Amino acid sequence: MEVVIVPDATAGGRLIADALAALVRRKPDALLGVATGSTPLPIYEALAAQVASGAVDASRLRVCQLDEYVGLPAGHPESYRSVVLREVVEPLGIDKGSFLGPDGSTDDIPAACAAYDEALRAAGGVDLQILGIGTDGHIGFNEPCSSLASRTRIKTLTQQTREDNARFFDSLDEVPHHVITQGIGTILEARHLVLLATGAGKAHAVAQAVEGPVAAVVPASALQLHPHATVVVDEAAASELKLADYFRATYAAKPEWQGL
């Protein structure tokens, strides 16, 4: 696992966007796994700026969702399909037909989960998966004590996660209780995992995930098992890392040819 400490969220977004631009130039039809929420917005905004300037052509890029609420209609503004279309697909000029996501409005959720895992396999697998981390260490919606081998499935959200996400709805009562999420095992199949965390509120979860033991109680700790995982954190989110100085030194000495 590589840990990169940046000054702020903007710098983190630009760093990851540069890595995405390099991926697109290397593989124009790469499959990019995207996370939602406020944390990854600087990534998408920085990459969209590169697209707008003509520095990179992302039109052949394919995009897939990490998770989706259960019970919200596809057109609901806070369904993750709507969010990804609004924040990623449209700004990058990607064809909507190149967008993969699970169906959270179907009556047969288990079938939808199995179908999504199969769709990811049929698409050749995820080339780069963007991740955030919850204050309790969850990735995707794999809440604490999720199986580290789990596949795409339905999960019940914790009260903390529903409260964290209530800011996107008019009230807590409108936040769904269930989601479809890629499982930890599914996430670990991506060729490159990039987790962005910003703010002091994520510091404890980051420290547990990076420096603590691999344990289901901290789902993000599973990234320690991946051969190509990158954790990008701002100074505030890095504040509880015991090895922060080491991470700074190793990144400063990193050869340019290695990339992110």
Query: For 1-7, what is the mean pLDDT?
Result: 97
pLDDT at 221: 98
Based on the number of CB atoms within 10 Å of its own CB, is 57 exposed (0-12), middle (13-18) or buried (19 or more)?
middle
| Average pLDDT value for the chain | 95
Q: What's the pLDDT tens digit per position in 47-84?
A: 999 999 999 999 999 999 999 999 987 789 999 999 99
Of 136, 164, 192, 234, catalytic: 136
Active site residue 57: no
Of 103, 117, 143, 234, catalytic: 143
Q: What's the pLDDT tens digit per position in 211-249?
A: 999 999 999 999 999 999 999 999 999 999 999 999 999
Of 68, 103, 127, 138, catalytic: 138
pLDDT at 256: 86
Query: For 159-178, what is the mean pLDDT?
Result: 90
Whether pTM > 0.85 for this model: the answer is yes
Rounded distance, CA 233 to CA 238, Å? 6
Active site residue 87: no
Residue with tokens 């703010």: 199
Which residues are 153's β-sheet partners?
181
Confidence of residue 164 (pLDDT cuts 50, 70, 90): confident
196 C-beta neighbours (distance < 10 Å), count:
28
Half-sphere exposure of 65 (CA within 13 A, CB side): 28
Confidence of residue 161 (pLDDT cuts 50, 70, 90): confident
Of 67, 68, 87, 234, catalytic: 67
Active site residue 138: yes
- Cα-based distances in Å from 229 to 1, 53, 188, 189: 5, 29, 9, 11
